[in-house]
């Protein structure tokens, strides 16, 4: 009887330990993963037709409209996150504004995505 009681106690202790370790880690990693996938999806749906899937703006249409190569390291170093944010929400030159179409947090996630394109 003593052994049964002991193993039940151990099971409970282990269960609580596992929950304590697993709980805080799980939601954070899921959120990070989802927002990265979401930004890639947003980029390919709204931006890739001009900037290209990889952001290089290599197509004929891109070259004739002066579309920015988003992977350009020199440009990346020059611009602030605010400027990228404003270009996306207000538009710039021949680039349309996305401020009405996308939420502020979607534009934010695109700023981070554009930063990740730096070569």
Instruction: Give the binding site for ligand HEC (CB under 6 A).
Output: 46-47, 49-51, 65-68, 70, 79, 83-84, 87-88, 92-96, 98, 110, 114
Please state, in angstroms and rounded to a whole number, the distance separating the CA atoms of residues 96 and 84: 13
Q: How far is the CB of 48 from ligand HEC (least distance, A)?
A: 8
Please provide residue 90's backbone torsions phi and psi, each rounded to the nearest 5 degrees. Answer: -105, -15
Q: How far is the CB of 112 from ligand HEC (least distance, A)?
A: 11
Cβ burial of 11 (10 Å; 0-12, 13-18, 19+) is exposed
Please state, in angstroms and rounded to a whole number, the distance separating the CA atoms of residues 47 and 62: 11
Q: How far is the CB of 32 from ligand HEC (least distance, A)?
A: 20
Pick the closer one to ligand HEC by CB: 71 or 114. Answer: 114
Please state, in angstroms and rounded to a whole number, the distance separating the CA atoms of residues 62 and 68: 8
Residue nearest to ligand HEC (CB): 93
Pick the closer one to ligand HEC by CB: 29 or 64. Answer: 64
């Amino acid at each position: 009887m003593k052994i049964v009681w002991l193993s039940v106690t151990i099971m409970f202790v282990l269960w609580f330990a596992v929950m304590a370790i697993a709980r805080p880690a799980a939601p954070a990693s899921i959120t990070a993963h989802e927002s990265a996938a979401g930004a890639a999806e947003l980029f390919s749906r709204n931006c890739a037709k001009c900037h290209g899937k990889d952001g290089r703006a290599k197509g004929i249409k891109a070259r004739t409209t002066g579309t920015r190569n988003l992977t350009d390291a020199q440009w990346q170093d020059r611009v602030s996150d605010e400027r990228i944010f404003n270009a996306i929400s207000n538009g710039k030159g021949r680039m349309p504004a996305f401020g009405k179409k996308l939420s502020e947090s979607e534009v934010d996630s695109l700023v981070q995505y554009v930063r990740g394109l730096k070569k």
